[in-house]
């Protein structure tokens, strides 16, 4: 293994026609992957894939946007198809059974999404679902894969730090998927033991340059979040794990390291964090 796509979704329907080819072309180039579950069916599908391939791992969990029924705009996700999500409640026993598979390496993605939220009620629901998933992560002794997205007026990171704080020391050092918070939040999360994934966005905007430079390299891992938000030069196309190479190239530039060093260090970090 040379490189790792630490947060991807090749189990999603966007890959129904050519999933095997997509996974194999990454694996053939020494790129491993973690397929991240977002609700029951995508968690089950992620676990199905780990049986089929070496170098492919999974997480299981309930994404905050799946706590309520809503439509997701295709433009925002950078992929052609929009989708309507079903409302789901976190069912501990269902997810625990999946989580016990040794190739399930984390619980999530779970957390807060205030970008699409309307009201206090859904925030409370998101917190409840998060706490349930923290409990499960402690129970099965696996880290969390956290999704956190603020709105213009509401800092989801502040609430996340408050919600997770009491569990630090009991949960395994966890991962903040695609960190988009402030430097202050980054400092607090580093102190709480978090590592951070960065993906395609860093290849085409400069908004994250400073925070990437600031976070210690031992706490950085790379991802695609495929099928969403493909890196340059593939913008607007369906994303896939192979393109994590482009993220690694950009990370090398930002961290003033060679491409080979970035591959080696982020691979080592991924293995350490997820006990692979």
Binding site for Zn ion (CB under 5 A): 225
Under 8 Å between Cβ of 105 and 34:
yes
| Smallest distance, Zn ion to C-beta of residue 120, A | 25
**Coil vs helix vs strand at 164:** helix
| Smallest distance, Zn ion to C-beta of residue 178, A | 8
Task: Quickly list DSSP for 45-106.
Answer: HHHHHHHH-TTEEEEE---GGGGS-EEE-HHHHTSS--EEEPP----HHHHHHHHTSTTEEE
- In the chain, DSSP assigns E strands to 3-8, 31-36, 56-60, 70-72, 83-85, 104-113, 144-149, 175-177, 195-198, 220-222
**Coil vs helix vs strand at 275:** coil
Residue 90 or 178: the one with the smaller Cβ distance to Zn ion is 178
Under 8 Å between Cβ of 62 and 110:
yes
Residue 61 or 267: the one with the smaller Cβ distance to Zn ion is 61
Q: What is the 8-class DSSP label of residue 47?
A: H
Is 63 assigned to a binding site?
no
Is 225 assigned to a binding site?
yes
Is 147 assigned to a binding site?
yes
CA distances from 124 to 88, 129, 221, 223 (A): 15, 9, 30, 29
Residue 113 or 225: the one with the smaller Cβ distance to Zn ion is 225
| Smallest distance, Zn ion to C-beta of residue 269, A | 18
Residue 117 or 239: the one with the smaller Cβ distance to Zn ion is 239
| Smallest distance, Zn ion to C-beta of residue 235, A | 18
| Smallest distance, Zn ion to C-beta of residue 256, A | 28
Angle between helices 120-140 and 92-99 (to 10 degrees): 40
Residue 39 or 203: the one with the smaller Cβ distance to Zn ion is 39
Residue whose CB is nearest to Zn ion in the complex, by number: 225
Is 9 assigned to a binding site?
yes
Residue 36 or 242: the one with the smaller Cβ distance to Zn ion is 36
| Smallest distance, Zn ion to C-beta of residue 180, A | 13
Distance, in Å, from the CA atom of 37 to the CA atom of 26, rounded to the nearest integer, reads 19
Is 206 assigned to a binding site?
no
Residue 159 or 225: the one with the smaller Cβ distance to Zn ion is 225
Is 72 assigned to a binding site?
no
| Smallest distance, Zn ion to C-beta of residue 64, A | 12
Q: Token pair for residue 142?
A: 């696996």
Angle between helices 156-164 and 183-191 (to 10 degrees): 10
Distance, in Å, from the CA atom of 75 to the CA atom of 42, rounded to the nearest integer, reads 22
Under 8 Å between Cβ of 145 and 110:
yes
- As annotated, the binding site for a divalent metal cation includes 7, 9, 109, 147, 177, 225
């Amino acid at each position: 293994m040379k490189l790792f796509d630490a947060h991807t979704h090749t189990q999603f329907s966007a890959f129904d026609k050519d999933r095997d080819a997509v996974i194999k072309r990454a694996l053939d180039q020494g790129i491993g992957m973690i397929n991240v579950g977002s609700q029951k069916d995508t968690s089950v599908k992620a676990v199905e894939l780990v049986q089929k391939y070496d170098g492919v791992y999974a997480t299981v969990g309930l994404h905050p946007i799946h706590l309520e029924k809503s439509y997701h705009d295709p433009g925002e996700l950078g992929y052609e198809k929009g989708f309507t999500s079903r409302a789901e409640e976190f069912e501990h026993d269902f997810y625990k059974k999946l989580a016990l598979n040794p190739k399930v390496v984390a619980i999530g993605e779970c957390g807060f999404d205030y970008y699409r939220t309307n009201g206090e009620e859904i925030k409370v629901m998101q917190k409840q679902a998060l706490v349930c998933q923290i409990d499960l992560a402690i129970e099965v002794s696996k880290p969390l894969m956290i999704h956190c997205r603020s709105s213009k007026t509401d800092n989801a990171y502040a609430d996340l730090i408050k919600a997770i704080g009491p569990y630090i020391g009991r949960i395994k050092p966890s991962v903040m998927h695609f960190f988009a918070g402030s430097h202050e939040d980054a400092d607090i999360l580093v102190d709480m033991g978090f590592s951070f994934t960065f993906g395609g966005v860093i290849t085409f905007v400069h908004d994250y340059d400073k925070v990437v430079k600031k976070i210690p390299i031992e706490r950085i891992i790379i991802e695609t979040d495929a099928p969403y938000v493909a890196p340059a030069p593939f913008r607007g196309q369906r994303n896939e794990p192979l393109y994590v190479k482009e993220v690694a190239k950009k990370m090398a530039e930002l961290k003033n390291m060679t491409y080979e060093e970035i591959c080696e260090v982020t691979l080592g970090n991924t293995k350490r964090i997820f006990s692979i």
